[in-house]
């Protein structure tokens, strides 16, 4: 298996999600039914109006700070391939999200919805920022610290995804679409981690991706209350459950992709690079 397949799977899931949620009456009715009341019913609104959390406010400052950290880690570790893949993940995700949301992915009115429900919102730009930065930072983080950075990034994505739904800025499909887009770009950018022209080994076992399953459990359990708290509203309990489920799935996708590592092909007996996972 090569990295083309998981990247292609992410992009295929993104396309199918968009078609099902936006281009079918059933999808539109299901998501429109979740938007009842006004944005001021979101429990997170006071925090958004005061300090954040980013990138719900200060999007450009958040981007600048995270890209600076990526650059510093890249230079300090001399991990040029990881740094290039991280920058490509961020730039590719945000560029694609901007283009898709404003030009490529319209939202037709198939159910006679109210005017405020007609604007195109797929995928979520705010969630795309959080997911792309979380994935990019995990790429340039040293291997020992990567699970912790990946867990923090996944929780950040869960908060962002839950909040934009509770505020009625976005629907569940919008946040899931943003994370699928970021994961697809990250997996495609991961091909940069393979040195060009390196021959395949004949004695060293080859494995394309390694997922540290024990590293997933605790942060994903913690993501459940975090997602529900961010998605909470004062005017209901059941609708926030749908928002929280979508936010939790965003955390799952982000964490899993952050801990995927491509093993580089080497000549027999060559020393592995620090970017590789050991069996």
Q: What is the pLDDT of residues 79-105, one digit of tens each?
A: 999 999 999 999 999 999 999 988 899
What does the pLDDT read at residue 261? Answer: 60
The residue written with tokens 């705010």 in the block is 126
Q: Provide the 10 A C-beta neighbour count for residue 104.
A: 11
Per residue, the 3-state secondary structure of 155-185, as one string, reads HHHHHHHHHHHHCCCCCHHHHHHHHHHHHHH
d(CA 202, CA 186): 28
Determine contact, residues 226/160, Cβ cutoff 8 Å. Answer: no
N-term to C-term CA, the chain:
17
The DSSP symbol for 104 reads I
Q: Are 105 and 18 in contact (CB under 8 A)?
A: yes
Q: pTM for the full model? A: 0.85
pLDDT, residue 215, reads 58
| In the chain, where the domains are located | 4-258
Confidence at residue 51, expressed as pLDDT on a 0 to 100 scale = 86
Q: Which of 142, 104, 95, 138 is nearest to 122 (CA)?
A: 104
Q: What is the pLDDT along the chain (279 residues), one digit of tens a residue?
A: 344 478 899 999 999 999 999 999 999 999 999 998 898 899 999 999 888 899 999 999 999 999 999 999 999 999 999 999 999 999 999 999 999 988 899 999 999 888 888 888 999 999 999 999 999 999 999 988 999 999 999 999 999 999 999 999 999 999 999 999 999 999 999 877 765 544 343 333 344 444 556 657 889 999 999 999 999 999 888 899 999 999 999 999 999 999 876 443 333 333 444 444 433
Cβ-based burial of 97 (10 A; exposed 0-12, middle 13-18, buried ≥19): buried
Contact 140, 191 (CB under 8 A): no
Contact 140, 86 (CB under 8 A): yes
Sign of the Cα torsion 62, 151, 188, 97 reads negative
Which two tokens mark 110?
């198939």
Continuous H helices in the chain? 4-22, 25-32, 45-50, 59-77, 80-99, 125-140, 146-166, 172-189, 214-231, 238-258
Per-residue pLDDT, 195: 56
Locus of tokens 């019913």: 41
Residue 164 has what pLDDT? 96
Residue given tokens 């569940």 in the structure block? 172
Please give the distance of CA 259 from its chain centroid, rounded to a whole number.
Answer: 13
């Amino acid at each position: 298996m090569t990295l083309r397949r998981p990247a292609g799977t992410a992009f295929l899931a993104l396309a199918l999600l968009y078609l099902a949620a936006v281009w079918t009456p059933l999808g539109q009715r299901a998501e429109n039914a979740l938007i009842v009341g006004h944005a001021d019913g979101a429990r997170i609104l006071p925090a958004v109006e005061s300090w954040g959390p980013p990138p719900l406010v200060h999007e450009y400052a958040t981007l600048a700070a995270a890209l600076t950290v990526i650059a510093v880690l890249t230079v300090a570790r001399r991990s040029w391939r990881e740094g290039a893949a991280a920058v490509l993940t961020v730039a590719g995700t945000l560029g694609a999200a901007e283009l898709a949301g404003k030009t490529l992915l319209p939202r037709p009115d198939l159910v006679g919805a109210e005017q405020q429900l007609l604007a195109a919102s797929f995928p979520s730009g705010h969630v795309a920022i959080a997911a792309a930065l979380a994935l990019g930072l995990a790429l340039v983080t040293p291997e020992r610290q990567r699970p912790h950075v990946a867990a923090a990034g996944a929780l950040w994505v869960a908060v962002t995804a839950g909040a934009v739904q509770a505020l009625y800025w976005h629907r569940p499909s919008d946040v899931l679409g943003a994370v699928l887009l970021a994961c697809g770009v990250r997996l495609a950018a991961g091909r940069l981690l393979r040195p060009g022209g390196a021959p395949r080994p004949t004695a060293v076992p080859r494995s394309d991706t390694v997922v540290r399953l024990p590293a997933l459990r605790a942060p994903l359990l913690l993501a459940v209350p975090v997602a529900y708290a961010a998605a909470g509203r004062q005017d209901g309990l059941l609708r926030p459950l749908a928002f929280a489920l979508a936010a939790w799935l965003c955390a799952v996708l982000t964490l899993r992709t952050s801990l995927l590592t491509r093993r580089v092909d080497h000549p027999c007996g060559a020393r592995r690079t620090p970017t590789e996972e050991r069996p």
